[in-house]
Amino acid sequence: MELTYQTLDLPLSVHEAHSLTIYTAEPGTPDEDRLKLLASWTATHVRHQDQGAASRDSAR
Which residues fall within 8 angstroms of residue 21, CB to CB, at 6 or more apart?
Answer: 5, 6, 7, 8
| Domain ranges for the chain | 4-59
pLDDT digits (tens, 9 = 90+) for 25-39: 999 999 999 999 998
Which residues fall within 8 angstroms of residue 34, CB to CB, at 6 or more apart?
Answer: 1, 25
pLDDT digits (tens, 9 = 90+) for 1-10: 999 999 999 9
Prediction pTM value: 0.57
